[in-house]
Structure 1
């Protein structure tokens, strides 16, 4: 039986990479969600995906998304909350509206979708898996990204809280935390200067959507059947430490030798 996978933020980048891997490796039925209708249409043509154009900052749209996909295209087996926005807003210029929109898309929408998925699984006696796309920004703040960093830290705790409450009904909830991933995204553009500064890691290359998609697929599958509430860091080792610093001292001091 082919799985039905619901992916938000599916029009490009990591979300599109997730759709492509599930479709090619598992023959999955994909319900792809994004605010960009034209880009979704191109994905549908390429993968035969079902598409839903929706702004996840709208609580009603986000809250009804799972039930709509379930009713229109059959029971959902996997939910991947990949949608996220990353504006550049200096802290002293932050408005309530700017802050709220980031939290609404990056945290509230995954909460509403995951809760709806849990209710649907409980009512139908089915099990399922949720994978949230977090970020290294949950651990380290960045200039102009207070709203984004806070949202990703909250998403990691949401992952754990949902895993605790949904585990007894057979729904696993995990997260993948990517390092810097090269994507062609009109939603979250970055300069090359920024990309170069944020992408240093021990493995020496920037991530690609397939790197993250492979981790998402593993966490959602049978091999990870006893894994829930975890955050898997797929970042080339960036969260382990930095290669951007020089050797702090060449040699050993007299005191260290004593």
Structure 2
């Protein structure tokens, strides 16, 4: 799908979870818009997709570790600083009933999805404050941030936490020109196909998520802070995801 035109020339962007479906498109969209992008993921092999791509460098590591977060920012500062942080890294594949989740699994999901966003966001806002300048954070949320999936309680808790983190940053640091927003996509697949559970009637393309992210990171969204932009084909607006269950008003 064709992208909306944005200009990030001269800006430095950090994209986490860069080797995944959405992450790969995010990196390419920002680079195509003129940004210098640092693509970070725990999957070193997956990052090879960016080999030779202009304006893109890659770095592997577990972003839930403080030493890795420090190393990422040391590299950013060495290479020119940071303008935009995109918290896209997440553990998404776990499907386990809440009653069966062990504390070790719970902690692993919290670390991958929420702790990593905290570690990078707090370093970003400290850097921007010290520089006396603003910056933009865009974090990936989900419909699960406000409505529960079946068997994904830990994931949903992290997405609610990411939204709360963004609101806190917006309220505490908005006066410094620092913005923090979320994109909450639904049913993102590489090849768009029909989807009866979405009012739009189809799934979401990763390029559509990337376009929303670039918008929130751009000056066009200067007055958006602490906001959740739902790229979900109307899913959140629907009372029930199964249209066959919509029998009567008030039901």
Q: Does the TM-score normalized on the shorter chain lie above 0.5? A: yes
Larger Cα-atom Rg:
1
1:23 aligns with 2:22: no
1:163 to 170, 180, 183: 170
Corresponding residue for 1:248?
A: 247
Equivalent residues of 1:183, 1:208 under 8 A apart: yes
TM-score for both structures, normalised by structure 2: 0.87
Match of 2:78 among 72, 81, 89: 72
Pairs aligned (count): 236
Is the CA contact (8 Å cut-off) linking 1:90 and 1:144 kept in structure 2?
yes
What is aligned with 2:5? none
Q: How far apart are residue 233 of structure 1 and its match?
A: 0.6
Partner residue in 2 for 1:50: 57
Q: Equivalent residue for 1:252? A: none
Q: Is 2:221 aligned against 1:215?
A: no
Whether 2:18 is the aligned partner of 1:10: answer yes
Q: Identify which of 83, 88, 91 aligns with 2:89.
A: 83
Partner residue in 2 for 1:254: none
Residues 113-172 of structure 1 show CA distances to partners (whole Å, capped at 9, x for unaligned) of: 111011111111222100000001112222221110111111111110111112122111
Higher helix fraction (1 or 2): 1
Q: Could you tell me whether the CA contact under 8 Å between 2:141 and 2:185 is conserved in 1? A: yes
How big is the shift at 1:66? 4.8
Q: CA RMSD in A?
A: 2.0
Whether the 8 Å CA contact 2:194–2:202 is kept in 1: the answer is: no
Counterpart CA distance in 2 for 1:134 and 1:183 is 18
More displaced stretch, 238-247 vs 70-79:
238-247
Query: In 2, distance between residues paired with 1:239 and 1:181?
Result: 15
- CA distance in 2 between counterparts of 1:196 and 1:88 reads 23
Conserved 8 A contact 2:64-2:119: no
* In 2: Cα distance, 1:196 partner to 1:56 partner: 35
Report the Cα offset of residue 196 of structure 1: 8.7
The residue aligned with 2:130 is: 123
Q: Is the 1:114–1:130 contact (alpha carbons within 8 Å) kept by the matching residues of 2?
A: yes
Alpha-carbon distance in structure 1 between the residues aligned to 2:115 and 2:173: 17
Give unpaired runs (5+ residues) of structure 1: 185-194, 250-258
Tell whether the 8 Å contact from 2:50 to 2:57 is kept in structure 1 after alignment: no
CA distance in 2, matches of 1:216, 1:92: 35
What TM-score, normalized by structure 1, do the two folds share? 0.85
| 5+ residue gaps, structure 2 | 1-8
Partners of 2:27 and 2:205 in 1: CA distance: 14
